[in-house]
Chain A
Amino acid sequence: MAKNSIKIKAKNKGGKTEVKALVKHVMETGLRKDKKTGEKIPAHFIKEVKCEHNGNLVFTANWGVAVSKNPYLSFKFTGGNAGDEIKVSWVDNKGDSDSRSTKIK
């Protein structure tokens, strides 16, 4: 289980909450070759990111290998007050996962 891999910022502005998340992950495509051994590096990437507001799912991202290393994600939703909980969680193709919660500012 990955730890502390997520950074989240959630801000409420004029009734809308903007969530920004940064995840630390290699996002390996499976197409790259190891320069020393010449063998392909197996794919290792985040498949799904879920975002919950006070326990309700608001946003799901399905990712393929073409999302950049240490991926960044941002979205907006209506509602959400200062102090509400925002939880972001991810699962990768090897079954590894992490989640983190923060409060809306």
Chain B
Amino acid sequence: MVSMKRRSFLKGTLATGALSVAVGTGLLKPSEVLAAWPESAFAEKSLDGAVSALGGGAPSDSGDIKIKAPDIAENGAVVPITVSTSISGVEKISVLVEQNPQPLAASFDLTSACDGFISTRIKMGKTSDIIAVVQAGGKSFSTRKTVKVTIGGCGG
């Protein structure tokens, strides 16, 4: 009897052990992952609202952020954009499109090992300013660039 209990006890610990390993290696993260996603910032329909939902206070204009994007995008569904900055200790880079139904397109969390550099492709509904917001050391900086769109990318 005693040995039986010991058996099930062992089984129990082994199972829990395997579970925590799975969580640790990233196999079982979805719920945790979705919790970290900034829902309110993405749901915001105004530019100012989205920027303030990102946290870090009102961003100040900075010449140290560079947005590389085409002046004229022929296809709004695929607009390549690269944001690079020389500001040190960047924690977060966010990309917003002023005229999109939901301005926040993407937000990138950078660890200390990362360079202030991200590159991706976004959709733009129409001609708009692209705003890059960089958060570093508790402060927030931004810069913007106008991109002309000839064909919209949001179902138009």
Contact B115 A66 (CB under 8 A): no
In the assembled complex, A82 has its CB within 8 A of some CB on chain B:
no
For the complex, count residues of B whose C-beta is within 8 A of A: 41
Nearest A residue (CB) for B36: A48
Closest chain A CB from B77 CB (angstroms)? 6
Mark B101-128 against chain A: 1 for CB-CB distance below 8 A, else 0: 1101111111101110111111110000
For the complex, count residues of A whose C-beta is within 8 A of B: 40
In the assembled complex, B65 has its CB within 8 A of some CB on chain A:
no
Residues of B within 8 A of A58 (CB): 111, 113-114
- What is A's interface to B at a CB cutoff of 8 Å? 16, 27, 29, 31-33, 47-48, 50, 52-53, 55, 57-69, 71-79, 87, 89, 91, 95, 97, 99
7 interchain residue pairs of minimum CB distance? A32-B155, A66-B105, A74-B119, A68-B121, A60-B109, A76-B115, A64-B42
